[in-house]
């Protein structure tokens, strides 16, 4: 299968970021939805760079695996992006499978920090792909 077009991936990542920015201050939108949009933006940003560099990747939502591909190829990326691996569960687990126990203490999801991470990732991808 040929690689996905890098500019299409980048545009879709930017679309996910724009939607997350619109939703971030709306308290009625669940953290899981913001997490999903931000995970998707980071995933597509990384895949845009991999595709641009001609590096094959699996159809995966695993950000750790995608970052490992960057490392293996010697593609420098912002160190902050390593923190994005925490977003991986939002791609599927948090949307479908995971329901916290009723007595579990909820961890606070840092919406604005996550959006900063997305912006860092997409600025990096934009510099490479554009």
On whether residue 14 sits in a domain, the answer given is yes
Q: Total structural domains in the chain?
A: 1
On whether residue 103 sits in a domain, the answer given is no
The tens digit of pLDDT for each residue in 52-65 reads 999 999 999 999 99
Q: Is the dihedral of CA 129, 72, 92, 100 positive or negative?
A: negative
Cα 78 from Cα 46, distance rounded (Å)? 11
For residues 118 and 19, is the Cβ–Cβ distance under 8 A? no
On whether residue 12 sits in a domain, the answer given is yes
Give the structural domain span for 59.
6-95+108-129
For residues 78 and 122, is the Cβ–Cβ distance under 8 A? no
CATH of the domain at 61: 1.20.120.330
The tens digit of pLDDT for each residue in 14-63 reads 999 999 999 999 999 989 899 999 999 999 999 999 999 999 999 999 99
On whether residue 100 sits in a domain, the answer given is no
């Amino acid at each position: 299968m040929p690689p996905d077009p890098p500019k299409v991936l980048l545009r879709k990542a930017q679309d996910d970021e724009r939607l997350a920015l619109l939703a971030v201050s709306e308290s009625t939108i669940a953290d899981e939805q913001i997490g999903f949009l931000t995970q998707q933006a980071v995933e597509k940003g990384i895949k845009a760079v991999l595709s641009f560099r001609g590096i094959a990747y699996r159809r995966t939502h695993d950000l750790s695996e995608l970052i490992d591909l960057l490392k293996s190829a010697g593609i420098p990326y912002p160190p902050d992006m390593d923190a994005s691996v925490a977003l991986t569960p939002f791609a599927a687990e948090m949307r479908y499978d995971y329901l916290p126990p009723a007595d579990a203490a909820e961890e606070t999801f840092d919406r604005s920090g996550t959006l900063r991470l997305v912006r860092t990732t997409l600025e990096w991808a934009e510099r490479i792909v554009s």
